[in-house]
Structure 1
């Protein structure tokens, strides 16, 4: 399928939906030094999990390839292209794209993030739509932003929207880099992009404890909640529905706090329960899961005590407040010099709070560390030698 109908642009959109088409697209794209890339994905909105729905990529030569991963069994040729260090990959706000590719086994290399570039230049709003409007006076249609990218066939409007996210990125990159070079912050960008490349997809540890009010449950209730959470995840996978659509988070925590409730009554009087769960088959499975975990809790002698609040802040002392005041002064001076939004890349509230309570200055960015130390010295504030790891500036 091919469209040539992008308004005011001579852009050819080529839909790639077979293995042969993918090989041909990759062969064409491999000859370029810079590629603009974007992914459309679904992250527990319409389907279960974090899933790739569409790939948009262009060499900036008037052709935009849109790769449909649903039709292609093996994306390895594309992954190899992304892992080619000799080719720059221009992406706007790349975090989730990098994480999804990593989840799929692709370690993207040579990333150039135009969203980060905009932040370095102190853009108050760094969305692609804002950058295009401010720098090029281009208005883009975002009506398909909430589109369900799982549906097939794709509409012409969806394909045009998808292409828009990449066809201007070469221009945006050139414009922003020229200004970054002018102000002498290219080393900022290089370090930020390197940090992005090192992002790795990991599953959350004890995700059930991240639910609202889960920390207020007893150890026993949290033990029950963990089993209920896994039950819901398994059902979400089987039905290909986001897990919270099966049982809402607040309802799951509520059930964990009162596992002796009549399940039939609970299912039919709790708001937001998926209809399939109310069927006799799944109601029985849920009842069995609760009986099983309650038995395991007794066998393992799980306590009914409440856990100590591990998220409670340390006590404030004159020393902690003094450290906070010092680093806040440093932050204010950095914002004055570089701007509020660029300043957030250098020093953030998390770093200030940790230094306040621990006396340790944890930095992971070399350029930010240099700026923090030099700014502190100019203010007559003595800071300790920064430590690597932990919270980042």
Structure 2
């Protein structure tokens, strides 16, 4: 098997044309998500057509990665992948919406394989040893090492054989259609509006007042802009603790050059001046809004609200234990504990009771109804 490194658009056009005529091909991405560079960036695309492996370099100046998008979006050609969730998010952010995916992760779960890395599953299913030494390497850096290229190739060259083996097992168990339904869900997902660079979390409110929380968010926006300008992950510039400390005590900007947890390249008078302006602007805006300096940013519930919340939690737990726990036990007995955790995880049991399920495959609903009838459980209000 040959490994081709694609850096020219003419070669990518030939590959795309070839892929359009296939029944299936395997694909994987290597990316950097705010680790070595700012943002969510594709660093490499690996494609295996059943004969040769192609490493497509999206960072090459002579290549437009969008050239291959029509083949990825072609519903007539199946794309075999493994644990493709983050890859799908990245492709959606680039305007590419893959169709006809076959995710081996879903298939292994339904076949009751213990959750594991692709390397370990290939060993278990195909009895092939795969090198995983380059998994955490810097995929943005060029040139790529030979070890990186081989690791990248290994991520796709076994996927078609892997799929064939799993389909044999699934056919024996009569769950091929379940796998098909799980993979059909990918066609309806849309992650294009997700903000992959928003680092602000609800837990960041801890110990901050409403006034300080407003300052904190404005400063996080300021550092995000600077991170983008410098093409560095934001946490490389300053830790969240630094930003939180400034929100609590803006005067700490005076000792900016001595502040720990700050990138050396921004410990200068010019950056300090810009930071001071951002702080002053945020404070002025917070005062204009009349934000409280004493009220906590994290809202505390009243006694009545807390009791209502606890009552609702107890109601949900009671219904889960009464209606869905017996079904989970049957799933373990019939398909195994790992398959149960995929078909009816605890998260889904809560969503079913609260009526919040979205895009649940039809086979799951039918399975739940069948078990409910056999166990004499009334699920008519939920599925």
TM score, norm. by length of structure 1: 0.87
Partner of 2:264: 275
Partner of 1:379: 375
Partner of 1:242: 233
Deviations 1:109-165 (A, max 9, x none): 110111111111111134221221112211111111111111111122211111111
| Gap change, CA 1:119 and 1:267, over 3 Å in 2 | farther
Shift of 1:205: 10
Partner of 2:273: 284
Q: How far apart are the structure 2 equivalents of 1:188 and 1:251?
A: 49
- Contact kept in structure 2, 1:99 and 1:199, CA below 8 Å: no
Q: Which moved more, 1:187-196 or 1:307-316?
A: 307-316
Shift of 1:213: 3.5
Deviations 1:317-357 (A, max 9, x none): 6644421321223222222222222112222222334566x
Mapping for residues 336-347 of structure 1, pairs under 5 Å = 336-347=333-344
Given the alignment of the two structures, is residue 293 of structure 1 paired with residue 282 of structure 2, yes or no? Answer: yes
Mapping for residues 43-192 of structure 1, pairs under 5 Å = 43-61=33-51, 63-71=52-60, 72-192=62-182
Q: How far apart are the structure 1 equivalents of 2:350 and 2:97?
A: 33
- Contact kept in structure 2, 1:37 and 1:166, CA below 8 Å: yes
Q: How far apart are the structure 1 equivalents of 2:300 and 2:11?
A: 56
Mapping for residues 204-283 of structure 1, pairs under 5 Å = 204=195, 207=198, 209-210=200-201, 212-256=203-247, 258-265=248-255, 268-270=258-260, 272-283=261-272
Between structures 1 and 2, the one with greater helix share? 2
Shift of 1:214: 2.0
Given the alignment of the two structures, is residue 330 of structure 1 paired with residue 327 of structure 2, yes or no? Answer: yes
Shift of 1:316: 3.5
Shift of 1:208: 5.4
Q: Which moved more, 1:74-83 or 1:364-373?
A: 364-373
- Contact kept in structure 2, 1:208 and 1:226, CA below 8 Å: no
Residue 309 of structure 2 aligns to a residue whose secondary structure is coil
The structure with higher relative contact order (CA 8 Å, sep 6+) is 2
Partner of 1:367: 363
Q: How far apart are the structure 2 equivalents of 1:190 and 1:126?
A: 21
- Contact kept in structure 1, 2:39 and 2:197, CA below 8 Å: no
| Gap change, CA 1:74 and 1:309, over 3 Å in 2 | farther
- Contact kept in structure 1, 2:246 and 2:253, CA below 8 Å: no
Q: How far apart are the structure 2 equivalents of 1:205 and 1:362?
A: 24
Residue 55 of structure 1 aligns to a residue whose secondary structure is strand
Shift of 1:248: 1.5
RMSD between aligned residues: 2.4
User: For this pair of structures, how many residues does the alignment match?
Assistant: 372
Residue 21 of structure 2 aligns to a residue whose secondary structure is coil
Runs of at least 5 residues in structure 2 that lack an aligned partner in the other structure: none
| Gap change, CA 1:109 and 1:320, over 3 Å in 2 | closer
Q: Which moved more, 1:49-58 or 1:212-221?
A: 212-221
Partner of 1:7: none
Q: How far apart are the structure 2 equivalents of 1:205 and 1:88?
A: 27
| Gap change, CA 1:76 and 1:25, over 3 Å in 2 | same
Q: How far apart are the structure 1 equivalents of 2:127 and 2:140?
A: 32
TM score, norm. by length of structure 2: 0.90
| Gap change, CA 1:217 and 1:350, over 3 Å in 2 | farther
| Gap change, CA 1:335 and 1:216, over 3 Å in 2 | farther
